Amino acid sequence: MIELHNVSAGYHGRAVLQGVDLAFAPGQVLALIGPNGSGKSTLLRAALGLVPCVGGEVLYDGVPLRRLSARQVAQKAAFLSQSRAVPNLSAQRMVLHGRFPHLSYPRHYREEDRRIVRQALAAVDAADLAARPVTELSGGQRQKVYLAMAIAQQTPSILMDEPTTFLDIAHQLGVMELSRRLARQGKAVVLVLHDLPLALSGADRLAVLANGRLVRCGTPEEIYQSGVLESVFGIRQGRMMTADGWQYYCRPSERQPDEAERKV
């Protein structure tokens, strides 16, 4: 389990994230939501040691992050970042990069590694892309390849920063279903999402951030009933019961939240 205890983190000595207490629990999908600039991506990067903590502590299974090597962290948490390079490699070769933390140097891929890569590509419905150069793929196809690379890393935790970017609605729903499937396998899955209905309908817990602070964390029902989404986002949140459960929707509010409300 990854735990953040009173973590403050940021860039060039300036804290963007302030005093956050949060745990990434095995077997659950946690959605990080909040307005632009609220600290969602910084939170993920602080949890991985990619952004320095200026206060508090991050623990991996009770061990301080600062005591772990980069390879040890990579064996415990896979990260799908928001911005990624597009190398001139085949999709299969790209996904093999997810096996790096499990290989010694010089790297020699085993049949087991290739099998895991095939399974990861199939899991994201991208088996047909294996031989194609990543540079020739569409944005949505590239996103599938990077998702497969994170899965191929076979870590207890998977952290994804806006994984539904470039994907059509069907594949956005597919990402959430994949996340739930990974959680059922016992993994801790953390997603930064901007789609509130998708987060409410698919995640086990939601963490709402505003101005670098964790405003509230709870189940979708607790978050919905609290009214925090209206105060933080300045929207009207509604839902209706269907044969498939609650379906959520957002409407524009008559006014935008002021600064005090964002700090609720």
Instruction: Give yes or no for residue 141 having a pLDDT over 80.
Output: yes
Secondary structure E strands in 143-219? 157-161, 188-192, 205-210, 213-218
Angle, CA 183 vertex, CA 181 and CA 186 arms, to 5°: 120
Predicted confidence band of residue 261 (pLDDT cuts 50, 70, 90): very low
Side-by-side strand order, sheet with 188-192: 77-80, 157-161, 188-192, 29-33, 205-210, 213-218
Instruction: Give yes or no for residue 113 having a pLDDT over 70.
Output: yes
Dump pLDDT digits (tens) for 50-102: 998 999 999 999 999 999 999 999 999 999 987 777 788 999 999 999 999 98
Cβ atoms of 214 and 28 within 8 Å: the answer is no
The closest of 79, 41, 46 to 194, measured between CA atoms, is 41
| Helix, coil or strand: residue 85 | coil
Dump pLDDT digits (tens) for 155-214: 999 999 998 877 888 888 888 999 999 999 999 999 999 999 999 999 999 999 999 999
**Other Cβ atoms closer than 10 A to 257:** 18
Buried b (16+ CB within 10 A) or exposed e, 62-74: eeebeebeeeebb
Cβ atoms of 57 and 49 within 8 Å: the answer is no
Cβ atoms of 146 and 98 within 8 Å: the answer is no
Dump pLDDT digits (tens) for 223-259: 999 999 998 998 888 888 888 788 888 888 765 555 5
pTM of the predicted protein model: 0.88
Cβ atoms of 251 and 236 within 8 Å: the answer is yes
Higher-confidence position of 254 and 128: 128
The single residue listed with the structure tokens 């990069």 is 97
Predicted confidence band of residue 103 (pLDDT cuts 50, 70, 90): confident
Per-residue pLDDT at 239 = 86
Per-residue pLDDT at 106 = 79
Q: Identity (one letter) of the amino acid at 198? A: L
- Averaged over 109-113, what is the pLDDT? 91
Per-residue pLDDT at 255 = 53
Dump pLDDT digits (tens) for 6-40: 999 988 878 889 999 999 999 999 999 999 989 99
Using alpha carbons, list the distances in angstroms from residue 241 to 26, 155, 161, 201: 29, 36, 30, 12
